Amino acid sequence: MSDVSDVRDMSGDSGPGDAGLGDSSGRRGVTGDDPVLARIALGLEGVQAAQRGRTAEARASFEALWEALGERGDVFHRCVLAHYLADLQDDPRAELEWDRRALAAADSLTAERAQTYESALQVRAFYPSLHLNLASDHLKLGEPDLVREQLERAVRSLDALPEDDYSAGIRTAVDELRQRLR
């Protein structure tokens, strides 16, 4: 069984922790014609570099972009960016806060806005991964009741996922965490 921290694969392989928000490889394409998402995609190269030990550099780049967006910036951009910033945190509490920001942004995201990015994109499909990430955060913090709460929310939203490899990865990660908690 893999460690729950493995659910956050930012390597461009669309691992189960990336919330369906895309990656720099073009699968579930990130940028389209959106200049802010293009900047985020460039930052994803930084995420990949972070996996090679340059986390602080990538985090600083994304935090600067977050500051540029502001709390009132485009909700889709905030969701994507907060999701990736969570992955770059050294402190589990900071990771939890960024994952909460991603979830809050998703809660404010309309289908119409998401579909300006990709016509088939369904906001509901973000929730299994977002809740799985929060469950993972609470696991790292030793908060089993909150792990179970977030895991249950992830399970309840699995029906929003399409039948594809990415979604299978999310389902597998949920099942692995469920097994781990037994």
The tokens of 179 are what?
């097994």
Listed residue (137, 164, 165, 140) closest to 154, CA to CA: 137
Q: Is 67 exposed, middle or buried (0-12, 13-18, 19+ CB in 10 A)?
A: exposed
* pLDDT value at residue 182: 86
Tell me if 21 sits within 8 A of 110, measured CB to CB.
no
Per-residue pLDDT of the chain (182 residues), as tens digits, is 333 333 333 333 333 334 344 433 333 444 567 777 767 666 666 667 667 777 887 888 888 888 888 888 899 989 988 998 998 899 999 999 999 999 999 999 999 998 888 888 889 999 999 999 999 999 999 999 999 999 999 999 999 999 999 999 999 999 999 999 98
pTM listed for this prediction: 0.75
Tell me if 30 sits within 8 A of 40, measured CB to CB.
yes
* pLDDT value at residue 47: 66
Domains, in order of start, for the chain: 4-181 (1.25.40)
Distance between CA atoms of 47 and 10, rounded to whole angstroms? 7
Distance between CA atoms of 132 and 138, rounded to whole angstroms? 10
What is the residue whose two structure tokens read 């949920």?
174
The alpha carbons of the chain give a radius of gyration, in whole angstroms, of 15
Single-letter amino acid, residue 119: S
Listed residue (150, 166, 167) closest to 158, CA to CA: 167
